Amino acid sequence: MAHRIRVTGTVQGVGFRPFVWRLASELGIRGQVLNDGRGVEILAWCEDPEAFATRLRREAPPLARITAITIAEERLGPPPQDFRIVESHASAPATAIAADAATCLDCLAEIRDPAQRRFGHAFANCTNCGPRLSILQRLPYDRANTSMAGFAMCPACASEYADPADRRFHAQPIACPACGPRLWLAEGDAVHEGRIALDRAAEIIRGGGIVAVKGLGGFHLAADARQEETVARLRRSKRRRSRPFALMARDLAEIRRFARLDAQEAAQLGSSAAPILLLNSEGEALAPSVAPGQSTLGFMLPYTPLHHLLLARLDGPIVLTSGNLTDEPQCASNAEAQERLSALCDALLMHDRDIVQRVDDSVLRMARHGPIVIRRARGLAPEPIALALPDAPSVLALGGDLKSSAALFTDGRLTVSQHLGDLSTPLARADFAKMVEVLLALNGARPALVACDLHPDFHASHVAAGLAARFDAPCVRVQHHYAHVLSCLADNGITAFATPVLGVVLDGMGHGNDGTVWGGEFLRVDHAGFQRLAHFPVVPLPGGDAAARQPWRNAVAQLDATLGWEAVAGSPALRHLASKNATALRRSFALSGAHRTSSAGRLLDALAALLGLCVDEQSYEGEAAMLLEACAARSTSGGSYGAERCATGPSWAPLLRGVLDDLERGTAAEIIARRAHDTVIAGVVSQVEAIRDAHAINRVALSGGCFNNVLLSDGISDALAARGFSVLVHRGLPPGDGGLAAGQALAALQARSEGLN
């Protein structure tokens, strides 16, 4: 009897068809398997298709992610003589796109073995590793639809590609020294090729130079992480004053020379995603300019053969930062790199395999509850989230203007794009528009709904309005913090609201429904939408956007609103604010139209300013809060200053009074910072308990960029769990604005259906 078996999920570009062939051959099943726009289709003449499907799911290749297997009986006549892999069928895409994967151990062993024909080859890969999204032009995922189409296979590669017993059977990016791609180093007028290019690149780095390296999803700038003069030069060239640089080390042993590393962290670093992982620094010192003022270092391991070969020629870690000027997209093409990076580096290490989709490095850190995804990109995106909404219409969501990403819901899966960066420059905005079109094209989608942030001036919201008009679709504007809560719920596979959820959202700022700027929110969420139950104190946001850049403004605003400026202005603890015109600033608070905010992020900025950690100007978004966390992490002596509540939510009077008192006593900054964290934790937990008492809500979802802070994330989630709450945290999406689009998509569906079922 013939059966048509349909497998959906991430099943293309991961060795799934060869796996099906091997399993069918083992079981004596006859038929065929192919890729099409919907996933993998199997025609199987067998007696027990359910048993076959069970093994398909249980033994799938390591990079495969199966979301569904369906079986239908077919009347197709006599079976073929064997089981075959047939050519793919092009049709409307409905399959998940595989993420790029770090070099597997088998390929790594080959490039290190002089007896292998791929010894020293910078582009070795197989069905278990290598480029996927970054080289994909269209579905289905076949060589002809990737940037490998122009590289004809040599006879040896063609033989491996056609051999079902070989791990490169139907490996679409298959490559070797004979058939390409080609590697070269451009150094002024000189061009070095192959292994000589790698030798010379390593020599330049050892000598204190900077090399632009074409990686998997874009160019990076590489420099010796121990040479301060070089790292400082890199900062000046990139116009990157103090944001920490990413690092790449040869192996785990090398990382352990500079940072603490436990088993969970080692597993994350060695995973197929190979992310940048923030680790607590410990041991030998790197150049001070690598991560100024931070207690963590962002390390990754080599994730392509090219990186492995380069690091093997060096005796220490390198800075490996994105190849761009600050706030611009990462360079992806050779021409782009030569134009934009030549002035920043001493040589460019390039190759002729085109990067079709720009993909930055993913960034994670470990909390007690698991990994926190800070930036979701290479190795993680665009793996979809399966949602049980079978009849829901397609939705395109555009996120926000910071840490932007787009999301598409279609065919029961939510696909969130790779991190697209901040939309503050024309280049970044053009790149965002291009990536949105790619997301639609690769998924063959025509959205019935378009969603965006409530903020009227976001560039992403303007793009959404244009797309809504183009597709003749409603444009649903979603309140920022409500989207954060729904993003956390989607991340946990929750689409039904049998009981309400309390969303605790702590972030920098988002447009509120009442005309103020929100950011410390306690939201009741159910099938009808959301209700704001409580919030952090509303204080002036002096200067609007200027307050987000200049922490001292928030310090004055918080003190004035909470304790009264006249009562504290003479405190010795505020001498470092004496040069600021606090009187004129306070006068602006009373002006009509002055911004007001409940932002948790601005509270953390104020605390950083009071401690003198970041007073005048932040050089990047979140710097003050990161320095505050780093300072607190240096102390284990904490304890809350006390938790108080007022009619609208937590009161920070004990916090601010306690900080000033400790400063006047000369208490160490790290102890004050730790106590400040503990007080915020206590205040949030106390408010959640009060809401449970009043509204009988026991399930709490934590979201917002402040939950990138491990002290806050662990402290709040642990304290709530200890008090019997069911706590939901982000699992695969960022708690910050990188996950916003996912929540917007669900909000649009909820608005359409008046409840997710």
What fold, for 370-484? Answer: Nucleotidyltransferase; domain 5 (3.30.420)
Neighbour count for residue 330 (Cβ, 10 Å): 24
Q: Which residues pair with 356 in a beta bridge?
A: none
Rounded Cα distance between 48 and 46, Å, is 6
Asked whether the CA dihedral 506, 511, 512, 514 is positive or negative, the reply is positive
Q: State the Cα–Cα distance between residues 540 and 589, nearest whole angstrom.
A: 6
Asked if 477 and 465 count as a contact pair (C-beta separation under 8 A), the reply is: no
Q: Options 3.40.50.300, 3.90.870.10, 3.90.1150.10, 3.40.50.2300; which CATH number does 183-351 get?
A: 3.90.870.10
Cβ count near 532 (within 10 Å)? 20
Measured distance CA(192)–CA(186) in Å, rounded? 7
Question: Is residue 753 classed as helix, strand or coil in its secondary structure?
Answer: helix
Handedness of CA 276, 10, 100, 323 (dihedral sign): negative
Distance of CA 362 to the CA centre of its chain: 5
Could you tell me the CA-to-CA distances from 242 to 226, 291, 343, 618, 694 in Å, in that order?
Answer: 17, 7, 20, 9, 45
Rounded mean pLDDT for each run of 10 residues along the chain, 757 residues in total: 92 87 95 87 95 96 91 90 82 72 98 98 96 91 93 98 89 95 97 98 99 98 98 95 97 98 98 98 97 97 99 98 90 97 98 97 97 98 90 96 96 94 94 95 93 95 98 97 98 88 97 95 95 97 89 95 92 89 75 81 98 95 97 93 94 98 98 98 98 98 98 98 98 98 96 59
Residue type, 721: A
User: H-helix or E-strand containing 505?
Assistant: strand 501-511
Quote the Cα angle for 318-322-325, to 5°. 120
Tokens of 495: 């689409």
Quick one: tokens of 481?
């913090």
State pTM to two decimals: 0.93
Instruction: Give domain limits for the chain.
Output: 2-85, 183-351, 370-484, 539-697
Instruction: Work out whether the CA dihedral 661, 667, 668, 671 comes out positive or negative.
Output: negative
Residue 544 φ then ψ, to 5°:
65, -115
Question: Parallel, antiparallel, or unpaired for β 211-214 and 83-85?
Answer: unpaired
Contact call for residues 123 and 174 (beta carbons, < 8 A) = no
The distance between the two most distant Cα atoms of the chain, rounded to a whole number of Å, is 94
Q: How many CB atoms lie within 10 A of CB 428?
A: 20
Q: At what angle do helices 623-633 and 710-722 cross, to 10 degrees?
A: 70
Question: In residues, how long is the chain?
Answer: 757
Helix (H, G, I), strand (E, B) or coil at 711: helix
Q: In a 3-state reduction of DSSP, which class is residue 543? A: coil
Reading the block at residue 428, the tokens are 């970044």
pLDDT (0 to 100) of residue 443 = 87
Residues in Cβ contact with 695 at an 8 Å cutoff, skipping those fewer than 6 apart: 500, 502, 524, 533
Between CA 195 and CA 416 the distance in angstroms is 38
Q: What is the structure's pLDDT at 542?
A: 87
- Taken in order 684, 690, 694, 699, the sign of the CA dihedral is positive
DSSP letter (8 states) at residue 226: T
**Separation of alpha carbons 603 and 610, rounded Å:** 11
Whether domain 2-85 has CATH 3.30.70.2190: no
Q: H or E segment at 96? A: none
Q: Annotate 382-418 with b (16+ C-beta within 10 A) or e (fewer).
A: bbbbbbebeebebbbbbbbbbbbbbbbbbbbbbbbbb
Q: Are 104 and 129 in contact (CB under 8 A)?
A: yes
Domains 370-484 and 539-697 share a fold: yes
Query: Is domain 539-697 in CATH 3.30.420.40, yes or no?
Result: yes
- Tell me if residue 106 falls in helix, strand or coil: helix
The CA distances from residue 345 to 196, 213, 236, 645, in Å, are 19, 10, 12, 54
DSSP H or E segment with residue 526: strand 517-526
Query: Residue 591 corresponds to which tokens in the numbers above?
Result: 């002006």
Alpha-carbon distance of 662 to 585, in angstroms, equals 26
Interatomic CA distance for residues 115 and 123, integer angstroms: 17
Backbone φ and ψ for 651, nearest 5 degrees, come out as: -110, 135
Angle between helices 710-722 and 669-695 (to 10 degrees): 40
pLDDT at residue 756, as a whole number: 41
Asked whether the beta carbons of 710 and 365 are under 8 A apart, the reply is yes
The Cα–Cα gap between 207 and 645 comes to 59
CA distance 686 to 340: 52
* Per-residue DSSP letter, 153: P
Torsion angle of the four alpha carbons 154, 156, 162, 164, in this order, in degrees rounded to the nearest 10: -150
Say what the pLDDT of residue 90 is.
61
Instruction: Quote the CA–CA distance of 617 and 614 in Å, as a whole number.
Output: 7
In the prediction, which pLDDT does 140 show? 77
Nearest 5°: the CA angle 150, 135, 265 is 140
3-state DSSP assignment of residue 4: strand
